[in-house]
């Protein structure tokens, strides 16, 4: 996984792999094609038409299907199709589309001129205060901002996003397609699920974000993705862009050990317990079943992901490799007095935390 800003540095490798475009385009989150990639607040999505049509995953529209379902009209199971814009359904008060309008690195503003004599708590509070101040200064009506930390606080980026509040459901396949195979197929490869759905973003007639209203008009994005009529073939170069939660590739051996021995087993146990509770309260009531289905699928999704990750950690020998890498690093540091003075206490301090 790469940050968009890192892609231009990969240009030689991309050319070798057959890429003929300009790698610099991937570093511009407001230009094409990255400007077409949007966030739903917990899912990634893409504009795919000049009239605000949005392609996303089937599981990302479960809330919209649930809020528009009744015991006699179960859209979660049966799916939904709006043949005209007038038939599109409001996705609900919690639905949002976030369109990135600016990204700037603010590392110096967040970390600059911090007193080296501060305690860890004082440093944390100072950084948090600066993050909140920048966020508040950036935000205004229709614009949401956040100062995101990368590489465990090494870099900070201020991300400003237009917040579109009127989101409508256009199409979702039946569960037999969108959730085909259930948890048996989930997180597997190759996969056979039709995991796709469509939303549309709406704004006020002035083009600015507005609360849901019939008179709102489709949002016209500056960029949208285009479908290639050629399709794809085996061996084609493929890029996947989106707003993932996080990666943790630079964890220490101690952190990974805790993750494998405590974090994931606990997560799996809690998911199973919650799933059993939700299953129990859903029995005998179609209305409750409708309300709890998105929650059940979300819990099952998280649980299977955690089970697979834990299996991979144990089966792949990652812990042993990480332990050896750390031993090699300690030996390298100890081999030079200057390195020992500068870095000798780092790993012990991390372990103590």
pLDDT tens-digit series, residues 274-327:
999 999 998 888 889 888 988 998 899 999 999 999 998 888 888 999 999 999
What does the pLDDT average to over 199-218? Answer: 97
pTM above 0.75, yes or no: yes
pLDDT at 353: 76
**% of the chain with per-residue pLDDT over 70:** 100
- How far apart (Å, rounded) are the C-alpha atoms in residues 271 and 306? 10
What does the pLDDT average to over 242-264? Answer: 88
pLDDT at 185: 86
- β-strand partners of 201: 167
What does the pLDDT average to over 47-65? Answer: 97
pLDDT at 80: 98
- β-strand partners of 166: 202
What confidence category does residue 85 fall into, taking pLDDT thresholds of 50, 70 and 90?
very high
| DSSP H or E run through 81 | strand 80-81
**% of the chain with per-residue pLDDT over 90:** 76
| pLDDT tens per residue, range 12-27 | 999 999 899 999 999 9
pLDDT surpassing 90 at residue 134? yes
State whether the Cα torsion 169-175-177-180 is positive or negative: positive
pLDDT at 152: 86
H helix and E strand count, the chain: 13, 11
pLDDT at 260: 92
- β-strand partners of 197: 56
pLDDT at 176: 95
| pLDDT tens per residue, range 320-346 | 999 999 999 999 999 999 999 999 998
Which token pair is 308? 């697979």
First and final CA of the chain: distance in angstroms? Answer: 27
What confidence category does residue 187 fall into, taking pLDDT thresholds of 50, 70 and 90?
confident
- β-strand partners of 171: 81, 198
What does the pLDDT average to over 53-79? Answer: 95
pLDDT surpassing 90 at residue 349? no
pLDDT at 317: 87
Ramachandran region of residue 245, left (φ > 0), alpha (ψ -120 to 50) or beta?
alpha
pLDDT at 68: 96
- How far apart (Å, rounded) are the C-alpha atoms in residues 145 and 103? 10
| pLDDT tens per residue, range 137-151 | 999 999 999 999 998
- How far apart (Å, rounded) are the C-alpha atoms in residues 191 and 193? 6
Q: Report the chain's mean pLDDT, rounded to a whole number.
A: 93
What does the pLDDT average to over 208-229? Answer: 96
Secondary structure (DSSP) of 316-346: TTHHHHHHHHHHHHHHHHHTSHHHHHHHTTH
């Amino acid at each position: 996984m790469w940050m968009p800003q890192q892609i231009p540095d990969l240009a030689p490798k991309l050319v070798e792999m057959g890429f003929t475009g300009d790698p610099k385009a991937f570093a511009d989150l407001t230009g094409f094609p990255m400007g077409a990639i949007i966030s739903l607040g917990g899912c990634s999505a893409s504009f795919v038409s000049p009239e605000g049509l949005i392609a996303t995953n089937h599981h990302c529209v479960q809330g919209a299907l649930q809020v528009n379902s009744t015991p006699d009209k179960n859209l979660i199971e049966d799916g939904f199709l709006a043949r005209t814009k007038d038939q599109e359904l409001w996705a609900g008060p919690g639905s949002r589309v976030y369109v990135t309008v600016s990204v700037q690195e603010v590392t110096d503003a967040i970390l600059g001129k911090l007193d080296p004599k501060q305690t860890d708590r004082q440093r944390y509070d100072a950084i948090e205060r600066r993050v909140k101040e920048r966020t508040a200064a950036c935000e205004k009506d229709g614009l949401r901002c956040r100062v995101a930390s990368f590489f465990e606080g090494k870099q900070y980026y201020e991300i400003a996003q237009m917040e579109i509040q009127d989101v409508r459901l256009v199409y979702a396949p039946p569960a037999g397609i969108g959730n085909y195979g259930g948890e048996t197929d989930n997180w597997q490869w190759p996969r056979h699920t039709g995991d796709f759905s469509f939303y549309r973003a709406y704004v006020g007639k002035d083009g600015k974000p507005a609360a849901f209203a019939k008179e709102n008009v489709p949002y016209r994005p500056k960029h949208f993705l285009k479908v290639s009529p050629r399709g794809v073939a085996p061996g084609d170069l493929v890029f996947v862009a989106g707003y993932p939660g996080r990666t943790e590739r630079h964890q220490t051996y101690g952190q990974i050990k805790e993750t494998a021995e405590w974090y994931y087993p606990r997560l799996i146990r809690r998911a199973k317990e919650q799933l059993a509770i939700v299953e129990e309260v859903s029995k005998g009531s179609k209305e409750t079943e409708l309300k709890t289905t998105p929650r059940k699928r979300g819990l099952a999704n998280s649980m299977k992901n955690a089970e697979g990750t834990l299996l991979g950690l144990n089966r792949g020998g990652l812990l042993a490799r990480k332990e050896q890498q750390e031993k090699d690093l300690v030996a390298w540091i100890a081999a030079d007095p200057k390195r020992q003075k500068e870095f000798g206490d780092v790993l012990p301090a991390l372990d103590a935390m």
